[in-house]
Amino acid sequence: MTEQLAINGGPKAKTTPNPAMYPGGLEIGEEERKQLMEVIDRKYLFRYYGPEKHPSKVREFEVKFREKVGSKYALATTSCTGALISALVACGVGPGHEVIVSGYTFFASCAAIVGAKAIPVIAEVDETLTMDPADVEKKITKCTKALVIVHMRGVPADMDRLMAIAKKHNLMVIEDVAQAMGGTYKGKYLGTIGHCGCYSFQYHKIITAGEGGMLVTNDSKLYDRAMGYHDTAACWRPDRFAEERYEGELFCGTNYRMSELTGAVMLAQFGKLDRLLSLMRRNQKKIIGGIKNTKGIKIRPVYDPEGDVAVCLMFYLDKKDKVQRFAEALQAEGVAASGVFNAGIPDWHIYAHWKHVIEKKAPTQEGCPWTCPYHTCDDVEYSADMNPNTLEYLSRVIHLDIPAQYTEEDCDMIVKAINKVAAVLA
């Protein structure tokens, strides 16, 4: 006999509270306090100098980060957006260029392209909800300079096919790893496969200092150029006033330097990464194991399941008109679940709500980059329904965060709730 749903008056399947999805944020404690107090006590708040010379926390974090992921260079920044813009500029992206980005990502992935003075071209996602290689090929023009590949909601994109496309068309590749810190693809850390990788330490991310970012690369010139752009005062140069060592080394930039306070928090948080990943992966595996054969739902496929950082669980229903009722029923059971796409509810993670881009909004009336005279290809046009596959996939998805703070008992109750609701509504 099917158990009555809680939404219809039955007992809740999950009776424990749901932690907020701040994996690293909820773990802030004595380690972060100790690192911060060292910076405060030393009065050494800026990585290059202070009243007395001390080792830089930011520099220490960069070294530990690059050693962890296996890149030659790491550059700490104020945010992932700052890292993305610095990477795009380092890769030679600028006026007249087009850059392809997927239509399911936080708006910053797209805004960074405009920040680098290039025109974003928005591609479909496939069933993994990462960039669709087939659609990318259709949208390449002679003006295409780069791809921004987003490892969305913790899972790796199809890097073999996307890198092959990039190589075929001589495109630069920037990986956006904001939501997949610590993830891998066929044994390689995400962010180290393309020309540059960019990470976020904003508060919703796996490890956090509230804000912060990192850029990695194996190319010394890309590192120099990213370093130069993120530090227009050139404090990093052995002789900041020397002539450039090669053409293209020196140019006007901005200031995306990470502070010592942020670096201190990140040193403590970085030490917690592996444990957080282990807990989230344990939780996700337990939940998936309990619903993988449930009729009426399909778990989101992943190109490399071992590389998923497991920040969430996403599964498909067969029809979009079932999603709202299914999500509401799970919520009534005590599970923090939701749909992903609703055309009437703005969400900056979905291209259809990027009015800034769809309407080609610019800070000045000249309308650059869309009106840039250096852009010699056909005008790039946008509409809310331009990527129908993306909207169709997203409209059928149920999403659950997987906090590291869940217990195995929590996971068992989530499995019970999903199976209970699916038996009636899927």
Choose the final residue of a domain: 243, 272, 301: 272
Please tell me whether residues 90 and 198 are part of one structural domain.
yes
Please tell me whether residues 113 and 227 are part of one structural domain.
yes
- Residue 335, pLDDT score: 98
Reported as type and span, the H/E element at residue 291 is helix 273-291
- Residue 330, pLDDT score: 98
Please tell me whether residues 208 and 118 are part of one structural domain.
yes
CA distances from 360 to 346, 355, 382 (A): 18, 8, 9
Please tell me whether residues 308 and 266 are part of one structural domain.
no
* Helix 57-69 with 260-270: angle, nearest 10 deg: 40
Give 300's contacts (C-beta < 8 A, 6+ positions apart): 127, 128, 129, 155, 314, 315, 316, 397
- Residue 343, pLDDT score: 80
Give the residue from 179, 214, 219 showing the smallest Cα distance to 195: 219
Residue 186, domain member (yes or no): yes
What six digits make up the tokens of 228? Answer: 């130069």
Do residues 353 and 387 make contact, with C-beta atoms less than 8 angstroms apart?
no
Reported as type and span, the H/E element at residue 354 is none
Please tell me whether residues 10 and 128 are part of one structural domain.
no
| Host domain of residue 310 | 6-24+273-343+390-425
Side-chain-facing half-sphere of 176: CA atoms under 13 Å: 30
- Residue 283, pLDDT score: 98
Residue-wise pLDDT tens for the chain (426 aa)?
A: 678 999 999 999 999 999 999 999 999 999 999 999 999 999 999 999 999 999 999 999 999 999 999 999 999 999 999 999 999 999 999 999 999 999 999 999 999 999 999 999 999 999 999 999 999 999 999 999 999 999 999 999 999 999 999 999 999 999 999 999 999 999 999 999 999 999 999 999 999 999 999 999 999 999 999 999 999 988 888 888 999 888 988 899 999 999 999 999 999 999 999 999 999 999 999 999 999 999 999 999 999 999 999 999 999 999 999 999 999 999 999 999 999 998 888 899 999 999 999 999 999 999 999 999 999 999 999 999 999 999 999 999 999 999 999 999 999 999 999 999 999 999
Residue 371, domain member (yes or no): no
Please tell me whether residues 175 and 277 are part of one structural domain.
no
Residue 380, domain member (yes or no): no
> In this structure, what CATH number is given to the domain that contains residue 285?
3.90.1150.10
pTM score over 0.95: yes
CA 260 – CA 272 distance, rounded (Å): 19
Residue 71, domain member (yes or no): yes
**What is the tally of structural domains in the chain?**
2
DSSP 348-381: TTBGGG-HHHHTT--SSTT-TTTT-TT--SPPP-
Residue 350, domain member (yes or no): no
Choose the final residue of a domain: 212, 241, 272: 272
Please tell me whether residues 197 and 286 are part of one structural domain.
no
Please tell me whether residues 89 and 217 are part of one structural domain.
yes
Choose the final residue of a domain: 257, 272, 287: 272
